[in-house]
Amino acid sequence: MLTRIDHIGIACTDLDATVEFYRATYGFEVFHTEVNEEQGVREAMLKINETSDGGASYLQLLEPTREDSAVGKWLAKNGEGVHHIAFGTADVDADADAVRDKGVRVLYDEPRRGSMGSRITFLHPKDCHGVLTELVTSAPVESPEH
């Protein structure tokens, strides 16, 4: 069952400048950064708020590290802007199977590693009214040591 909007992915050409825009304009601060070599992106997660299921909602800013990455190709074709929407789920495998059973194409046979250790898969935009849709199961939050 989908529980929240996990994040909205925004493709950009200059991650640092885009982060500064969101910081200066809206006061959003960077919660996490990483380079995902498999996906070919450098990213920053800006936390917007906490959610009732213990997760959070983010803006995910994505700068391609290579032109042949999915985000690089998308950016060359479409320019900067909203790339995808991601919904949080407790079980990405089960929810991917459920939407697949409804005729929606799931882009990965098995979920892959996403931001902050999450497990992700994508749904084909042609089956989702033109919206690239991601399903995300967040990595378990480690309890603080006493």
Residues carrying an active site annotation: 7, 43, 60, 84, 134
Within 8 A by CB and 6+ apart from 5, the residues are 57, 85, 86, 87, 88
- Of the candidates 12, 13, 43, which has an alpha carbon nearest to the alpha carbon of residue 30? 43
